[in-house]
Amino acid sequence: MPELPEMENYKRLLTERLVGKTIKGVNITRGKTVNLPIEPFINEVQGRKIVMIDRRAKYLIFKLDSGKNLLLHLMLGGLMYVGNENDSPDRTKQVTLDFGGVQLFFIGLRLGFLHVLTSHKLDEQFNELGPEPLDPQFTLVAFNELMEKRRGLIKTTLVNQKIISGIGNLYSDEICFIAELLPTRTMNELSDQERSKLYTSMQTVLKRGLSLGGYIDLPVFQGDTLTGSYNDHCYVYDREGEPCPRCQHLIIKDEVSSRKTFFCKMCQR
Protein backbone atom coordinates (compact mmCIF):
# COMPACT_ATOMS: atom_id res chain seq x y z
CA MET A 1 0.00 0.00 0.00
CA PRO A 2 1.42 3.42 -0.93
CA GLU A 3 2.62 5.36 2.10
CA LEU A 4 3.56 8.99 2.75
CA PRO A 5 6.58 9.18 0.37
CA GLU A 6 4.67 7.57 -2.50
CA MET A 7 1.63 9.82 -2.12
CA GLU A 8 3.77 12.93 -1.69
CA ASN A 9 5.65 11.96 -4.85
CA TYR A 10 2.32 11.65 -6.68
CA LYS A 11 1.24 15.03 -5.31
CA ARG A 12 4.37 16.79 -6.55
CA LEU A 13 4.43 15.22 -10.01
CA LEU A 14 0.68 15.54 -10.64
CA THR A 15 0.70 19.15 -9.45
CA GLU A 16 3.23 19.98 -12.17
CA ARG A 17 1.10 18.36 -14.86
CA LEU A 18 -2.55 18.80 -13.93
CA VAL A 19 -3.14 21.86 -11.74
CA GLY A 20 -4.96 24.53 -13.75
CA LYS A 21 -6.32 22.00 -16.26
CA THR A 22 -10.02 21.35 -16.82
CA ILE A 23 -11.52 17.85 -16.70
CA LYS A 24 -13.15 17.49 -20.10
CA GLY A 25 -14.22 13.88 -19.83
CA VAL A 26 -14.73 11.15 -17.22
CA ASN A 27 -14.83 7.40 -17.83
CA ILE A 28 -15.78 5.01 -15.01
CA THR A 29 -15.61 1.25 -15.51
CA ARG A 30 -16.21 0.24 -11.89
CA GLY A 31 -19.07 1.96 -10.11
CA LYS A 32 -17.95 0.81 -6.65
CA THR A 33 -14.80 2.92 -6.97
CA VAL A 34 -16.81 6.15 -6.68
CA ASN A 35 -19.26 7.27 -3.99
CA LEU A 36 -22.08 8.41 -6.25
CA PRO A 37 -24.00 6.79 -9.10
CA ILE A 38 -21.88 7.12 -12.22
CA GLU A 39 -23.88 9.86 -13.96
CA PRO A 40 -24.13 12.20 -10.92
CA PHE A 41 -20.42 11.63 -10.24
CA ILE A 42 -19.54 12.63 -13.80
CA ASN A 43 -21.78 15.71 -13.51
CA GLU A 44 -19.91 16.78 -10.36
CA VAL A 45 -16.47 16.36 -11.95
CA GLN A 46 -16.70 17.01 -15.69
CA GLY A 47 -16.04 20.62 -16.65
CA ARG A 48 -14.34 21.37 -13.36
CA LYS A 49 -10.79 22.70 -13.09
CA ILE A 50 -8.21 21.25 -10.68
CA VAL A 51 -7.00 24.23 -8.65
CA MET A 52 -4.74 22.36 -6.21
CA ILE A 53 -3.54 18.88 -5.30
CA ASP A 54 -2.90 18.20 -1.64
CA ARG A 55 -1.99 15.21 0.52
CA ARG A 56 -3.04 14.10 3.99
CA ALA A 57 -1.57 10.88 5.36
CA LYS A 58 -2.03 8.26 2.59
CA TYR A 59 -4.79 10.25 0.87
CA LEU A 60 -4.55 12.56 -2.13
CA ILE A 61 -6.98 15.46 -2.52
CA PHE A 62 -7.78 17.02 -5.89
CA LYS A 63 -9.39 20.40 -5.11
CA LEU A 64 -11.89 21.49 -7.75
CA ASP A 65 -12.94 25.00 -8.72
CA SER A 66 -16.48 24.12 -7.60
CA GLY A 67 -15.26 24.07 -4.01
CA LYS A 68 -15.64 20.29 -3.82
CA ASN A 69 -12.85 17.73 -3.63
CA LEU A 70 -11.87 14.42 -5.16
CA LEU A 71 -10.53 12.26 -2.35
CA LEU A 72 -8.31 9.36 -3.43
CA HIS A 73 -7.05 6.40 -1.45
CA LEU A 74 -5.13 3.85 -3.52
CA MET A 75 -5.26 1.10 -0.89
CA LEU A 76 -3.48 -2.13 -1.87
CA GLY A 77 -2.44 -2.30 -5.52
CA GLY A 78 -3.69 1.10 -6.63
CA LEU A 79 -1.64 3.22 -9.04
CA MET A 80 -1.89 6.35 -11.17
CA TYR A 81 -0.52 7.22 -14.58
CA VAL A 82 -0.57 10.42 -16.66
CA GLY A 83 -0.42 9.98 -20.40
CA ASN A 84 -2.69 8.81 -23.20
CA GLU A 85 -4.12 5.60 -24.62
CA ASN A 86 -0.94 4.99 -26.62
CA ASP A 87 1.49 4.94 -23.71
CA SER A 88 -0.73 3.97 -20.77
CA PRO A 89 0.05 0.65 -19.06
CA ASP A 90 -1.89 -2.44 -20.09
CA ARG A 91 -3.74 -2.70 -16.80
CA THR A 92 -7.36 -2.38 -15.75
CA LYS A 93 -8.38 1.25 -15.30
CA GLN A 94 -11.33 1.94 -13.01
CA VAL A 95 -11.52 5.71 -13.61
CA THR A 96 -10.03 7.93 -16.31
CA LEU A 97 -10.04 11.73 -16.23
CA ASP A 98 -9.53 13.30 -19.65
CA PHE A 99 -7.95 16.76 -19.73
CA GLY A 100 -7.87 17.01 -23.50
CA GLY A 101 -4.61 15.65 -24.90
CA VAL A 102 -3.60 14.15 -21.56
CA GLN A 103 -5.37 11.66 -19.32
CA LEU A 104 -5.08 10.63 -15.70
CA PHE A 105 -5.64 6.91 -15.24
CA PHE A 106 -6.60 5.39 -11.88
CA ILE A 107 -5.43 1.80 -12.02
CA GLY A 108 -6.04 -1.25 -9.84
CA LEU A 109 -8.57 0.39 -7.52
CA ARG A 110 -10.22 -2.89 -6.48
CA LEU A 111 -10.00 -1.78 -2.85
CA GLY A 112 -9.20 1.89 -3.37
CA PHE A 113 -11.68 4.69 -4.01
CA LEU A 114 -12.21 8.10 -5.57
CA HIS A 115 -14.93 10.10 -3.80
CA VAL A 116 -16.45 13.53 -4.40
CA LEU A 117 -16.68 15.30 -1.02
CA THR A 118 -17.48 18.74 0.30
CA SER A 119 -14.77 20.39 2.40
CA HIS A 120 -16.85 19.67 5.51
CA LYS A 121 -17.03 15.95 4.72
CA LEU A 122 -13.33 15.99 3.92
CA ASP A 123 -12.56 17.39 7.37
CA GLU A 124 -14.70 14.66 8.91
CA GLN A 125 -12.74 12.03 6.98
CA PHE A 126 -9.47 13.31 8.46
CA ASN A 127 -10.78 13.96 11.94
CA GLU A 128 -9.17 10.94 13.59
CA LEU A 129 -5.84 11.04 11.76
CA GLY A 130 -2.68 11.58 13.78
CA PRO A 131 -0.10 14.29 13.03
CA GLU A 132 2.00 14.34 9.88
CA PRO A 133 5.49 13.05 10.76
CA LEU A 134 7.25 15.55 8.46
CA ASP A 135 5.24 18.55 9.62
CA PRO A 136 7.71 21.15 11.04
CA GLN A 137 5.45 21.45 14.08
CA PHE A 138 5.85 17.74 14.81
CA THR A 139 9.04 18.22 16.79
CA LEU A 140 10.88 15.80 19.06
CA VAL A 141 9.07 17.40 21.99
CA ALA A 142 5.70 16.80 20.31
CA PHE A 143 6.72 13.22 19.48
CA ASN A 144 7.74 12.51 23.08
CA GLU A 145 4.47 13.97 24.38
CA LEU A 146 2.52 11.79 21.95
CA MET A 147 4.43 8.65 22.97
CA GLU A 148 4.54 9.34 26.68
CA LYS A 149 1.84 6.87 27.69
CA ARG A 150 2.02 4.51 24.72
CA ARG A 151 2.59 0.86 25.60
CA GLY A 152 2.19 -0.77 22.19
CA LEU A 153 4.88 -2.31 20.02
CA ILE A 154 7.02 0.10 18.02
CA LYS A 155 5.81 -1.51 14.78
CA THR A 156 2.10 -1.27 15.56
CA THR A 157 2.48 2.25 16.96
CA LEU A 158 4.19 3.57 13.84
CA VAL A 159 1.58 2.14 11.46
CA ASN A 160 -1.41 3.27 13.52
CA GLN A 161 -2.87 6.15 11.50
CA LYS A 162 -4.65 7.54 14.54
CA ILE A 163 -1.28 8.04 16.26
CA ILE A 164 0.97 9.12 13.37
CA SER A 165 -0.37 9.40 9.83
CA GLY A 166 1.24 8.22 6.63
CA ILE A 167 3.57 5.43 7.79
CA GLY A 168 2.85 1.86 6.75
CA ASN A 169 4.44 -1.55 6.69
CA LEU A 170 7.51 -0.80 4.60
CA TYR A 171 8.72 2.42 6.17
CA SER A 172 8.03 1.26 9.72
CA ASP A 173 10.56 -1.55 9.17
CA GLU A 174 13.05 0.84 7.61
CA ILE A 175 12.65 3.28 10.51
CA CYS A 176 13.23 0.56 13.11
CA PHE A 177 16.34 -0.56 11.25
CA ILE A 178 17.91 2.91 11.15
CA ALA A 179 16.99 3.40 14.82
CA GLU A 180 18.66 0.03 15.61
CA LEU A 181 15.54 -1.08 17.45
CA LEU A 182 13.61 -4.32 17.14
CA PRO A 183 10.06 -3.64 15.93
CA THR A 184 8.76 -5.87 18.74
CA ARG A 185 10.05 -3.55 21.47
CA THR A 186 7.34 -1.64 23.32
CA MET A 187 7.24 2.15 23.36
CA ASN A 188 7.12 2.43 27.15
CA GLU A 189 10.38 0.50 27.59
CA LEU A 190 12.40 2.81 25.33
CA SER A 191 14.94 5.08 26.94
CA ASP A 192 14.90 8.81 26.18
CA GLN A 193 17.87 8.28 23.88
CA GLU A 194 16.18 5.41 22.02
CA ARG A 195 12.97 7.37 21.59
CA SER A 196 14.95 10.33 20.27
CA LYS A 197 16.74 8.05 17.82
CA LEU A 198 13.40 6.60 16.68
CA TYR A 199 12.10 10.11 15.95
CA THR A 200 15.25 11.09 14.04
CA SER A 201 15.15 7.83 12.07
CA MET A 202 11.52 8.45 11.13
CA GLN A 203 12.43 11.84 9.69
CA THR A 204 15.49 10.46 7.88
CA VAL A 205 13.78 7.45 6.33
CA LEU A 206 10.67 9.28 5.12
CA LYS A 207 12.73 12.08 3.55
CA ARG A 208 14.98 9.50 1.91
CA GLY A 209 11.92 7.65 0.61
CA LEU A 210 10.60 10.84 -0.93
CA SER A 211 13.95 11.78 -2.48
CA LEU A 212 14.03 8.35 -4.15
CA GLY A 213 10.46 8.54 -5.43
CA GLY A 214 9.08 5.88 -3.11
CA TYR A 215 8.76 2.20 -3.94
CA ILE A 216 5.86 2.10 -6.44
CA ASP A 217 6.81 0.02 -9.48
CA LEU A 218 5.04 2.10 -12.16
CA PRO A 219 6.33 5.48 -13.40
CA VAL A 220 3.85 8.34 -13.18
CA PHE A 221 4.43 9.36 -16.80
CA GLN A 222 6.54 8.34 -19.77
CA GLY A 223 10.17 9.24 -19.07
CA ASP A 224 9.69 9.35 -15.28
CA THR A 225 12.91 7.85 -13.91
CA LEU A 226 12.44 8.85 -10.26
CA THR A 227 9.27 7.08 -9.14
CA GLY A 228 9.96 3.69 -7.58
CA SER A 229 13.70 4.14 -7.03
CA TYR A 230 13.34 3.20 -3.36
CA ASN A 231 12.75 -0.39 -4.52
CA ASP A 232 16.50 -0.70 -5.06
CA HIS A 233 17.48 1.03 -1.83
CA CYS A 234 15.49 -0.70 0.92
CA TYR A 235 17.58 -1.49 3.99
CA VAL A 236 15.62 -4.50 5.22
CA TYR A 237 12.12 -4.50 3.74
CA ASP A 238 11.56 -7.48 1.43
CA ARG A 239 15.23 -8.45 1.91
CA GLU A 240 14.71 -11.74 3.76
CA GLY A 241 17.84 -13.91 3.69
CA GLU A 242 20.05 -11.10 2.36
CA PRO A 243 22.98 -9.75 4.39
CA CYS A 244 22.23 -6.83 6.67
CA PRO A 245 23.81 -3.66 5.18
CA ARG A 246 25.15 -2.77 8.63
CA CYS A 247 26.44 -6.01 10.19
CA GLN A 248 26.15 -8.58 7.37
CA HIS A 249 24.01 -11.02 9.37
CA LEU A 250 20.98 -12.34 7.50
CA ILE A 251 17.79 -10.31 7.48
CA ILE A 252 14.81 -12.07 9.04
CA LYS A 253 11.17 -12.04 7.98
CA ASP A 254 8.56 -12.49 10.69
CA GLU A 255 4.98 -11.51 11.47
CA VAL A 256 4.12 -8.78 13.96
CA SER A 257 0.39 -8.35 14.58
CA SER A 258 -0.33 -10.17 11.30
CA ARG A 259 1.98 -7.84 9.34
CA LYS A 260 5.05 -9.12 7.54
CA THR A 261 8.07 -7.55 9.19
CA PHE A 262 11.73 -7.49 8.19
CA PHE A 263 14.62 -6.81 10.58
CA CYS A 264 18.13 -7.78 11.59
CA LYS A 265 18.14 -9.66 14.87
CA MET A 266 21.83 -8.95 15.41
CA CYS A 267 22.12 -5.15 15.22
CA GLN A 268 18.55 -4.16 16.06
CA ARG A 269 18.13 -4.41 19.82
How confident is the model over 145-204, as pLDDT tens digits?
A: 999 989 999 999 999 999 999 999 999 999 999 999 999 999 999 999 999 999 999 999
Average pLDDT over residues 61-90: 95
**Active-site hit among 5, 6, 48, 58:** 58
Among this protein's residues, is 56 annotated catalytic? no
Q: Is 246 a catalytic residue?
A: no
Any catalytic annotation for residue 259? yes
pLDDT bracket for residue 114 (50, 70, 90): very high
Q: What pLDDT is attached to residue 140?
A: 98
CA 6 to CA 10: how far, in whole Å? 6
- The active-site residue out of 17, 21, 259, 260 is 259
Is residue 70 classed as helix, strand or coil in its secondary structure? strand
At 240 the pLDDT is 98
- pTM for this model (two decimals): 0.96
pLDDT at 217 over 90: no
Sequence ranges of the chain with CATH classification 1.10.8.50: 140-263
pLDDT above 90: residue 52: yes
Architecture of domain 4-127: Alpha-Beta Barrel (3.20)
Q: Please confirm, yes or no, whether 30 is among the known catalytic residues.
A: no
pLDDT at 1: 86
Q: Is 80 left (phi over 0), alpha (psi -120 to 50) or beta?
A: beta
Residue 31 pLDDT: 97
Within the chain, which residue ranges are assigned CATH 3.20.190.10?
A: 4-127
Q: At what angle do helices 192-211 and 169-178 cross, to 10 degrees?
A: 130
Helix (H, G, I), strand (E, B) or coil at 12: helix
**pLDDT > 90? residue 255:** yes
- In this model, does residue 6 exceed pLDDT 90? yes
Task: Give, in words, the CATH class of 140-263.
Answer: mainly alpha
The pLDDT, as a whole number, for residue 173 is 98
Query: How far is residue 27's CA from residue 21's CA, in Å, rounded to a whole number?
Result: 17
